Amino acid sequence: MSQQEKVELSVVIPAYNEEKRLGPTLMAVADYFFSSGRNFEIIVVDDGSQDGTRQVVEKMQREVFVRYRAGRLKLLSHEKNRGKGAAVKTGMLSAVGEIVLFTDADLSTPVTEFSKMEQALMDGAEVAIASRGLADSRILLPQPWLRRQIGRIFPFLVRHLVLADFRDTQCGFKAFRKAAAQKLFQALKTDGFAFDVEILVRAKKLGMKVREVPVVWYNSEESKVTLWKSPWLMLREIMHIRRMR
């Protein structure tokens, strides 16, 4: 894709030790958007991985993406692990597409759900967030019982301490108009998993139109959110966001 061609879509994928899952994810994303005929870019942000994540992306650049004339694959790297929020911020601020999507590397929300997000943006939203908490959402592979119980605590705290407007702030599949993405992520301070909450708080404060979209979702058995450590770190971030509000 030449530099002169307008990039319609940027897809940001934060990756930390994703050597096993990243290759199939990149192929799924590229195949989906290539078949649509649009010009796109995929931006992988390696957040200080200690495995072969970087090598997977570099191999895909050399051996696979040369055939995607309507797309390109970019690799950005953090020298040290800084957190999911920091990785997504790096990718978002480098994106040039008119629409910017970020998705988790496990594709728990299938990339085919993007059509719903795009429609929300076309209908006037500046931000579209995938949600597992709406009536039309479909959880096809749920989390184990204990993880589900612990996972309910964080949304409860978000709604009661910070932001009561949304059923699900943490689904890793969100789309933005370019101007909204730039404005929101330039100001982002939260480096960890609670960055989604800060983004939505800032969007609400700026009067942006945010649409929550029901999606299909599958649990990933290799989640990077640990049961006993991540919730406490996220609670600390939530309290910081509450003070920022």
Identify the pLDDT of residue 148.
63
Residue 14 maps to a domain: yes
pTM (predicted TM-score): 0.89
Residue 3 maps to a domain: no
Nearest residue to 71 via CA among 48, 41, 33, 110: 41
CB atoms within 10 A of CB 1: 14
Residue 2 maps to a domain: no
SS3 116: helix
Range of the domain at 86: 9-244
CATH code, domain carrying 161: 3.90.550.10
Nearest residue to 222 via CA among 119, 106, 55, 48: 106
Number of domains in the chain: 1
To the nearest 10°, report the CA torsion of 29, 35, 40, 42: 20
| Tens digits of pLDDT across the chain (245 residues) | 544 578 999 999 999 999 999 999 999 999 999 998 889 999 999 999 999 999 999 999 988 887 776 679 999 999 999 999 999 999 999 999 999 999 999 999 999 999 999 999 999 999 999 999 899 999 887 666 556 666 666 777 778 788 888 999 999 999 999 999 999 999 999 999 899 999 999 999 999 999 999 999 988 766 555 545 566 777 788 888 888 76
Handedness of CA 222, 214, 11, 153 (dihedral sign): negative
Compute and round to an integer the Cα radius of gyration of the chain.
17
Phi and psi at 190, nearest 5°, equal: -85, 120
Give me the residue label for tokens 């009661």: 160
Residue 4 maps to a domain: no
Give me the residue label for tokens 């709406």: 134
Q: How far apart are CA 210 and CA 148, in angstroms?
A: 26
Identify the pLDDT of residue 239.
83
Identify the pLDDT of residue 159.
81
Identify the pLDDT of residue 127.
98
